[in-house]
A and B are shown apart, each in its own frame.
Chain A
Amino acid sequence: MSDADANTPLAASAPRFAAALGALPHCISQSPDGPVIEVELANLHAVLRALRDGAGFELCSFVTCIDHYPTTPRFALHHQLLSLAHNDRVRVRCVLPGESAPTCTDLWPGANYMERECFDMFGVRFGGHPDLRRLLMPDGYDHHPLRKEFPHQGIEPDRLYRQWDRARRASWTDDAR
């Protein structure tokens, strides 16, 4: 399947998007890898729900974030949606004014881990998420490593381990050893 097959031309799918979104303010454009719908944060959840219920996007491929540091606002949230029935893909882009966004786990339960990863790597708080814990880094880690200002060699990478190790050694008794 080539890229042209994978993505329905915008002209073909734009009427369905417009019908599904109705009066919700949005901006549709065509990017090299498919149509992009830009929305405001206040309309994000409603747009996602409308695309799922009205345009047949029953699958959320991924949820991720882009850090545009040092531009402010720096974070842009991307939801990539897939319609199996229409063989159609669309990306919903939302620039976050802050570091919080509404969750879409109520629409697609599979977005749970992707939002957790997004929180882990970028520090985006998803309001309403059922279990917003870190996914990849250890619990209690202080930083969000995919932020642009984070040095890739890390900040005190072993601090958590040292804390854990001290607690472990303190829990030992002479009998246990």
Chain B
Amino acid sequence: MGSLKPVGPESNAVQGSSFLATRADFLINWGRKNSLWPMPLGLSCCGIELMGLLGPKFDLARFGAEAARFTPRQCDLLIVAGTLTWKMAQAARTIYDQMPDPKWVIAMGVCSSSGGMYDSYSVVQGIDSIMPVDLYVPGCPPRPDAVIDAVLKLQKKIEREDPLARLVGPATAPRAEEGTGQLVFQPNRGLPKGAWDKHAHDPKSRLPLGDPLPRKTEIKP
């Protein structure tokens, strides 16, 4: 398990020769998960809830994700809030492509998750048919609390990623944008996982029995 606790003979010193020993991927993930920059893609009424989420009452800044930028080139968290039509789908995919790696996507609301009540010729039946999605937030629209919960779950998910695999791993490692719903998923061997694992919609999180990686799963109702 990673830790940011200083170690060494003078670890209690406020200053001086204390140093930090941790794992690189833990440190990278720690930095990434606590400074998410959301790109708000408000497409319909969910966008109103998203404004409330970024506002002072619900205050996403408590979780380090308040720096909403309206250019995808400065963001790493795409929040698709609302009904995505096929006419808008090309623009949404372009926005996703313009975001620099690493990037994550939250499908906020049932419309972006599954098309919702719009079983229609003009509506994309779930944005995961055009871009990989990390988290789906149910609700019509979901309360800002639910999106905060999604951001916290996304932070847990980021904790389990293996950021060094893209740098030192084989060149054939699949890229996040290569497919739809085919996110690269590397369970961290050391981190304890809670019941939220069972709710991750990533098919790769549903590992078969006989998993070579023993998962310290504690499930409490």
Closest chain A residue, CB of each to CB of B125: A157
Q: Which residues of B contact A168 (CB under 8 A)?
A: 93, 97
Interface size in chain A (residues, C-beta < 8 A): 18
Q: Please measure, in the bound complex, the distance between the C-alpha atom of A158 and the C-alpha atom of B86, giving whole angstroms.
A: 7
Smallest beta-carbon distance B215→chain A, Å: 34
Interface string of B185-221 (1 = CB under 8 A from A): 0000000000000000000000000000000000000
Determine the distance from Cα of A164 to Cα of B92 in the docked complex, in whole angstroms. 13
- Interface status of B62 (Cβ within 8 A of chain A): no
Q: Which of A152, A161, A164, A165 contacts B121 (CB 8 A)?
A: A152
Interface contact A136-B86, CB-CB below 8 Å = no
Q: Within the complex, which residue of B119, B120, B130 is in contact with A161, where a contact is CB–CB below 8 Å?
A: B130
A174 CA / B153 CA spacing, docked (Å): 34
By size class, the interface of chain B is 10 to 19
Known: A157-B86, A158-B129. A136 touches B122 (CB 8 A): yes
The smallest beta-carbon distance between B90 and chain A, in angstroms, is 5
Give the Cβ gap from B114 to chain A, nearest Cβ, in Å: 14
Nearest Cβ on chain A to B195's Cβ, whole angstroms: 35
- On whether the beta carbons of B122 and A161 are closer than 8 Å, the reply is no
Given A161-B130, A165-B93, verify A138-B86 contact (CB < 8 Å): yes
Q: Mark B28-67, 1 if CB is under 8 A from A, else 0.
A: 0000000000000000000000000000000000000000
Within 8 A of B (CB), among A101-140: 136-138
Docked CA distance A132–B129 (Å): 31
**By the criterion CB–CB under 8 Å, are B122 and A154 in contact?**
yes
Closest chain-B Cβ to A41's Cβ sits at a distance in Å of 29
Q: Interface residues of A: mostly helix, strand, loop or mixed?
A: loop
Q: Which residues of B contact A136 (CB under 8 A)?
A: 87, 122
Indicate whether B89 reaches chain A with its CB closer than 8 angstroms: yes
Q: Which residues of A contact B120 (CB under 8 A)?
A: 152-154
Given A161-B130, A165-B93, the answer on whether A145 and B121 have CB atoms closer than 8 Å is: yes
Residues of A within 8 Å of B129, CB to CB, are: 158
Interface: A160 (CB within 8 A): yes
Q: Is A137's CB under 8 angstroms from B119's CB?
A: no
Alpha-carbon distance A157/B97, docked complex (angstroms): 22
B119 touching A157, Cβ below 8 Å = no
Of the candidates A151, A152, A153, A161, which one forms a contact with B86 in the assembled complex, judged by CB atoms under 8 Å apart? A161
Kindly state the separation between the CA atoms of A143 and B120 in the bound complex, as whole angstroms.
14
Query: Min CB distance, A138 to chain B, in Å?
Result: 5
Contact A138 B121 (CB under 8 A): no
Name B62-97 residues within 8 Å CB distance of A.
86-87, 89-90, 93, 97
Contact yes or no, B90 A164, CB < 8 A: yes
Interface positions of A (Cβ within 8 A of B): 136-138, 143, 145, 150-155, 157-158, 160-161, 164-165, 168
A-B residue pairs in contact (CB < 8 Å), sample of 27 = A136-B122, A137-B86, A137-B122, A138-B86, A138-B90, A143-B121, A150-B121, A152-B119, A153-B119, A153-B120, A153-B121, A154-B121, A154-B122, A155-B121, A157-B86, A157-B121, A157-B122, A157-B124, A157-B125, A158-B124, A158-B129, A160-B86, A161-B86, A161-B90, A164-B90, A165-B93, A165-B130
Known: A152-B119, A157-B122. 10 other contacts (CB 8 A): A137-B122, A138-B90, A150-B121, A157-B86, A158-B89, A158-B129, A160-B86, A161-B93, A165-B93, A165-B130
